[in-house]
Structure 1
Amino acid sequence: MRSFLFILFSVPFISFSQTAKQDSIWKPLNTFIGQWKGTGEGEPGKGNYERSYMFILNNNFIEVRNKSSYPPTDKNPKGEVHQDIGYISYDQLRKLFILRQFHAEGFVNQYRLGSISADGKTIIFISEAIENINEGWRAKETYELKNENEFVETFELAPPNGQFEVYTKTVLQRKL
């Protein structure tokens, strides 16, 4: 009976410690959780962005939904709407974050965490694989936290054996 009572009263503490440990893993990315909007520019032109970050599946993943709208221009007379869905996970074996993005155009990018600055304000993801593009292309996502309500995202691409070049740069503000 004592053993049963010990287990009965221990389960909430064990569960809480697992939840607390899981929550602490996400500390570097917690600022992103929420709804965001902003503007950006780059290869597709100047556009408006909507983005959301939310925990899913028992806080094991962060889902990222992005919509970028570019109005018609001389260079792009039809304009463009880009959508992607991403998932950030924590790879316990490698002890790092993985970001997988699924793009409406058919690209699938898998990134690994490249670095987090000492102050936690700059986070860089480097591609490990990109599906549906010629071999050798690389991508990089850099997030610079300005404060808890604003960040700058720089998306860069590099052709095979080439250097990274900015494709888009976006400033996002938290929707209040």
Structure 2
Amino acid sequence: MASHTAPRRSAGLLLFRRRGPSFEVLIGHMGGPFWARRESAAWSVPKGEYEPGETAQAAAGREFGEEFGRPVPDGAWVALGESRQSGGKTVTVWAVEAELDPADAVPGTFTMEWPRGSGVQREFPEIDRFAWCAPEVAAERLVKGQRVFVERLRERLADGQGPDRNGED
């Protein structure tokens, strides 16, 4: 009998701030040795997996807190929908308009054997740095499967579907 595992699901939060007629998004460079020398397609929306019984929105808030090291800022949550990633995981993302200083981040960490086969366990930040990026820059930096969320945010803001300047939906 084939085993059935639950599909891998992840949820995240994409902060944005308006800059004149455009906007910027806050994204994070993935930590650890595999991403250390990469910029293109090496950044991510703060996100993580969630378990059955936890809502995607609750997971998005929890993961932002774990990866940025600070609570989710106040603001209206704008649903940006889902995207199936190349590895098969489905990611659900919301956007929140907020102003945060990337220097205030205190990222969570993970432990792995490095170098491989050395028997040495080392700790690395989940996200080693955060940056505000214009949509065009984010499109280059984000892993391919997450670029759609920046485009969806652009469409929502252009259509007036995002929160207004007072943070109301």
TM-based fold match above 0.5 = no
- Superposition TM-score, scaled by structure 1 size: 0.24
Q: Which one has a larger percent strand, Structure 1 or Structure 2? A: 1
Higher relative contact order (CA 8 A, sep 6+): 2
Q: TM-score, normalised by structure 2?
A: 0.25
